[in-house]
Structure 1
C-alpha cells in the first residue's frame, strides 16, 4: 500500500514535466547516454531554426515592420531555449541531486500532514505548469496557423506565379534563396511549426521543470519549520534529534544553493530579453489596436502573457523560497527554546545567523529576482508603452 502511494505521489509530482523535457534530453532522472545527447542536439537544431532563419530574413531586408517584431521575438526565445538546453546539460548534476532528493523524500515520508504539504506544493507546481505551457503552445499555434490564413487572404485572385508564401517562422526570402521547392510548402510549414513547439518546450518547459523542484524545496523547508516548532525536549536523545534537524537544514540550504547557482546566468539573460520583448510586443499590440487587426492583437497578447507568466513565476517562487528560509528563525522562536539545554541554544544562534542571509534567486549574482524586481520591470515597461501610445496618437 505504501509503495502504491509512493508511486502515485511521484507520478503526480513529476510526470507532466518529464513529458515536456524528455524529448529535448534534459530530464534529470534519465540515463545520460548517447541517446539523451542526441535528443538534446535534435532539440538545439530545431530551436536553432527559430534563431537562424529570422536572422537571415532580417539581413536580407525582406520583412515588414510586423515581421521584424516577430523575428526579434523568435530570436530571443530561440536563444533562451538553446541556452537553457545547454545550461541544464552542463549543470545536470544540480538537477539530478535535487530530483533524487525529491524521490527519497517521497519514499521516506510517513507523516500524513507532511505528505499533504508535499502534495500541496506539487499541486502548485502543476498550477504553474498548465497556464505557462498553455500560453506558450497557444502562441505557437497562432504562428503555425497564420500562414494558412494569410495564404487564403493574400493570394485570392492571384496567378500561380505571383503567389506569396508565408511561414510560421519568417523565412520566405531565405527559402527562396536556397531554392526550396514550392511543392514542399506544407511540409516546410509543418517542420517550422514543430520547431516552434520544441522551442516552447526548451524555453517554458525548462522553466516549469526548474520551478517545480524549487517548490519541492520550499515544501521541505516548511516541513522543517514544523519540526523546529514541535521539537520535544522531554524525549530522550535531545542532542541527537536536534542535530538531525540541523543537518536537514544544512542539506536543504545546499540543495537550494545548487539551484540558485545553476539558474543565475539564465535569469540574467532572461530578464534582459523579457524586458525588451515586453516593450516590443506591447508596441506591436498598440499598433494592432490602432489598425484593428484582431489576429495581430491576439498573437501579441498571447506572447506577452507567456513572457509575463515566466517573469511572474520566477519572481513569486524566488520570493517564496526567500520567505521560507527566513521564517525558520521565527519557527524556532515559536518553540520552547527557553527550556533548551545550553548547548542547543548555542546552535540556535548559528541558525539565526544563517537565516539573515537566505538563499535567493539572483540574475548574474547581483539582481535579486523577487516581487520587487517584477514590479520595477513592469513599471518601466508600462511607462515606456505610455510614451509610445502618446506618440501613436499624435
Structure 2
C-alpha cells in the first residue's frame, strides 16, 4: 500500500471499535465509580465520584472486617477457618485493585484515550483488522473468566449457606448461616429482620467485590491485548514496507519507527500503572488456590458434592485468571521481540546504507522487549504461572499436614 493510500484511509467507526474493546470493563467498573473515563471535571461530578467511591469502599470494609474478626477470634473449627480464607484474600484483592484504580486514574485514563486515538488514526483496513482481532481475543479471555467467576461465586454465596448446618439460637430456633460468618462488634444481627437484611446485604456487597475484581481483570486483558496488537501492527508494516519498492522509503520507515515508539510507550504506561495489581494477582491467587484446593478436599471427604463442585469451579476460575495474565504477558514480550526478527527478514541488503543503519537501531531496541512485571520483582510469563501452581501445591500440602 502506498503512502498516499495511508493518508486517504479514515476509520469512521473508531468510536464503535473503541466501545467494543472497553465495553465489559466499562460496564463493571462504572457502577463502583472507578472507571477512569467516568468522572467529569466539574466540582459536582468530583464530589459525586468521591461519595460513590467512599460508599463502595465502606461497604467492602463492612463485609470484610467483621468476617476477619470472626475468623481469627471467634471461629472454633480450624478446618472451617481454612476454607474461608480464600474469600477473605479475594475481597482484599478487590480493595487493593479498587484503590490502585483510584490512585492511577490519570495514567489509566491516558492509556484509554491513547487507545481511542490509535483506533481513529489507524492507517489502513489491514491494521484495523489486526487490532480488532486482538480485541476479540481479549473479549474472549474476559468472558471466559467472568463465566467461571460468577458461576462459582453465586453458588458460594447463595446455595452453600442453604446447605450448611443451621445455627441454633438460645431460644432453640434455627437460622441459615450468613454467607460470610461475621462478628459485628458494635451491634447484634441475630434477630429478625436485621439478620435477613444482613444476609441480603452480604450477597450484594460480595457481588460488588466480584464485579470490581472482574472489571479490573477485563481492563487488564483489554489494555495488554491492545498493546500486543500495536506491536503486531508494527511487525506487519515492517514486513510489507518494501511492497511498494523504494518510493518514499525514508518516510515509511520513519512512520514505522514512530509507531514502534508509541507501542513501547503504551506498554510501559500499562506496566507502570498496574504492576502492583499484577503482584497482588500472582501472590494473592497463589494463596487463594491453595485454600480452594483444601476446600475441595474437605468437601470431598465430607461427601458434599455440590459444595465440592462450587469450590472446584472457583479454583478453576482463579487458575484461568493467573494463566491468562501470564499468557498475555508472555505474548506482549513475544510480539515486541518479533519486531527485530521482522526487521532482519526483509531484504535489508538491497536498501540504502542510511536505512540499514535505522534498521539496526530497531533491532537493538527489540533486544530489550516490553514486559509486564509484578511490582518490578519478576516478569509475568507462563513460567510464572508454573511457579504459582507449584507454590500453591506446596502450601496445600503444608495446610493438610497442619490440619491432620
What residue in structure 2 maps to residue 179 of structure 1?
188
CA RMSD of the aligned region, Å? Answer: 2.6
2:71 and 2:334 map into 1 onto residues whose CA distance is 45
Aligned residue among 23, 26, 43 for 2:56: 43
SS at match of 2:193: helix
| Correspondent of 1:93 among 88, 106, 112 | 106
Question: How far 1:139 moved relative to its partner?
Answer: 2.8
Which residue of 166, 182, 190 corresponds with 1:154? 166
Alignment partner for residue 118 of structure 1, among 121, 126, 131? Answer: 131
1:280 to 284, 291, 308: 291
Q: Which residues of 2 match residues 307-326 of structure 1 at below 5 A?
A: 307-326=318-337
Is this contact kept in 1: 2:90–2:288, CA < 8 A?
A: no
2:224 is aligned to: 214
Q: Residue 16 of structure 1: which of 24, 33, 38 is its match? A: 24
Superposed counterparts of 1:1-394, under 5 Å: 5-32=13-40, 33-62=46-75, 64-109=77-122, 111-146=124-159, 149-150=162-163, 154=166, 161-171=172-182, 174-175=183-184, 178-180=187-189, 181-232=191-242, 234-382=245-393, 385=396
Deviation per CA, 1:227-264: give whole Å up to 9, x if none.
11111373543222211211111111011011112222
- Partners of 1:50 and 1:75 within 8 A in 2: no
Unmatched tracts of structure 2, length 5 or more: 1-9, 41-45
Distance across 1 between alignment mates of 2:294 and 2:161: 25
Judged with a 3 Å threshold, the aligned counterparts in structure 2 of structure 1 residues 63 and 390 are, in CA distance, closer, same or farther, namely closer
Post-superposition Cα deviations, 1:189-232, rounded to whole Å, max 9, x if no partner, equal: 11111111111122222011122111011112101101111113
Give the SS at the match of 1:367.
Answer: coil
SS in 1 for 2:376: coil
Shift of 1:351: 1.4
Instruction: Decide whether the 8 Å contact of 2:371 with 2:379 is kept in 1.
Output: yes
Q: Say if 2:97 and 2:277, in contact at 8 Å, map to a contact too.
A: yes
Q: Could you tell me how far apart the structure 1 residues matched to 2:402 and 2:23 are?
A: 48
Instruction: Give the structure with the higher percent helix.
Output: 1
Displacement of 1:108 after TM fit? 2.7
- Cα deviation code 1:112-157 (max 9, x no counterpart): 3222212211111111111212222223312321465147x6379x
Please state whether the residue corresponding to 1:35 is helix, strand or coil: helix
State the alpha-carbon separation in 2 of the partners of residues 59 and 361 from structure 1: 36
Q: 1:383 Cα shift?
A: 5.1
Shift of residue 19 of structure 1? 0.5
* Shift, 1:7, TM fit: 3.8
Deviation per residue, 1:135-182 (Å, 9 max, x gap): 22223312321465147x6379x99643244111221xx148612242
Q: CA deviation at 1:89?
A: 1.6
Separation in 1, partners of 2:181, 2:377: 36
CA contact (8 A) 1:360 1:368 kept: yes
Q: SS of the residue aligned with 2:31?
A: helix
**How many residues get paired?**
388
Q: Does structure 2 retain, via aligned residues, the 8 Å contact 1:282–1:304? A: yes
Is this contact kept in 1: 2:83–2:294, CA < 8 A?
A: no
TM-score w.r.t. length of structure 2: 0.87
User: Which secondary structure state, in structure 2, belongs to the residue aligned with residue 23 of structure 1?
Assistant: coil
